[in-house]
Amino acid sequence: MPKPELEFFDPEPIPWQEIEGSDGMIHEKIVSRDPDSGDYTRVLEFKPGTRTTETLVHDFWEEVWIVSGKLHDIAKNETYEAGFYACRPPGMIHGPYDIPEGCVTFEIRYWK
């Protein structure tokens, strides 16, 4: 079954879920999901003071739009702010990040 058909709706009632291993600093809200493929769309919230330590590499496509706040890529020594966008194919290296003031992103992940 593909992602469900969803007309505009208020995602506020969807609960935030803590990202495992984030010590309460990163939460996600899944707004749509395809249970067969694993594709999903989410809002990701980084609390002020979040600092990640891992370099990330995924086996899926990831598109990210920064909705609010800023994140600093420690490895690249670059800071990205609201309005910035990334499209990462499988295998693209990114992170770790320092997020002193907090950040919210909108992400789409898919395996194709």
Could you read off the pLDDT of 66-111 as tens digits, one per residue? 999 999 999 999 999 999 999 999 999 999 999 999 999 999 999 9
Residue 14 lies in a domain: no
Give the structural domain span for 62.
55-112
Structural domain includes residue 45: no
Query: 34 lies in a domain?
Result: no
pTM: predicted TM-score of the whole model, two decimal places: 0.93
| Total structural domains within the chain | 1
In a domain, 32, yes or no: no
Task: Please check whether residue 46 lies inside any domain of the structure.
Answer: no
Determine the length of the chain.
112
Q: Please, which pLDDT band fits residue 1 given cuts at 50, 70 and 90? A: low
Q: Please check whether residue 70 lies inside any domain of the structure.
A: yes
Confidence of residue 112 (pLDDT cuts 50, 70, 90): confident
| Residue-level pLDDT at 86 | 98
Is residue 92 one of the residues assigned to a domain?
Answer: yes
Whether 64 is in a domain gets the answer yes
pLDDT in tens, 6-54: 999 999 999 999 999 999 999 999 999 999 999 999 999 999 999 999 9
Please list, residue by residue across 29-53, b when 16 or more beta carbons sit within 10 angstroms of its beta carbon and e when fewer do.
bebebeeeeebbbbbbbbeeebebe
